[in-house]
Amino acid sequence: MLKSMIPDMYVPSIYTIDFDELKRRGISSIIVDLDNTLVESTRPDATPKLVGWLNHVRDMGFKVIIVSNNTRTRVSQFAKPLNIPFIHAARKPLTSAFRKALNIMGCAKEEAVVIGDQLLTDVLGGNRMGLFTILVVPVSNVDGFLTRFNRLIERMVFRWMERRGMLHWKQTHP
């Protein structure tokens, strides 16, 4: 079970991901979490920097979809102005929302990456589907109750992986 929580890549933020490398891997579609991955969970809309990032990855030919465990209201108010398809109340780490995202984007699992800030939702769910997974450092320390609980478990998992030499990234983990 713990091995299914190991991301393929770990980076400080979405802005440091090498999308040329992802293209070389055959990835053409991005499944991305919203809260604390793209913006703080308290921010209602995209920052200018995020809009530039989205335009850049789209210009590179990537399809983007937001898959979030948050409510329809939260996710739609964020995604609609950016013209990004979304799935709300995704119930990650269950795989149904990831399957639905692949269908919406019209891609195979080998062509998609999951980007998120949580091991227990984004990485675990993506790995269960056989997707390439990238864990990012959360953009904020403000979390809801369930996420705070998840972060506690994440810290234990990181310590377990570190003791067993299973951490393969260069950056410091949270």
pLDDT tens, position by position, 67-106? 999 999 999 999 999 999 999 999 999 999 999 999 999 9
Q: Any residues with CB less than 8 A from the CB of 27 and at least 6 apart, and which?
A: 62, 111, 112, 113, 132
Answer yes or no: is 169 within a domain: no
Query: Whole-model pTM?
Result: 0.86
Is there a domain that residue 71 lies in? yes
Q: Is 168 among the domain residues?
A: no
Is-contact 132 115, C-beta < 8 A?
no
Report whether 120 contacts 150 (CB < 8 A): yes
Does residue 171 form part of some domain? no
- 136 is written with which tokens? 């990012």
Establish if 96 belongs to a structural domain. yes
Could you give the CA distance from residue 91 to residue 93 in angstroms, rounded to a whole number?
A: 6
Determine, yes or no, domain membership for 174: no
pLDDT tens readout for residues 98-143: 999 999 999 999 999 999 998 889 999 999 999 999 999 888 776 6
> Domain containing 121: what range?
2-163
**Total count of domains within the chain:** 1
CATH code where residue 116 lies: 3.40.50.1000
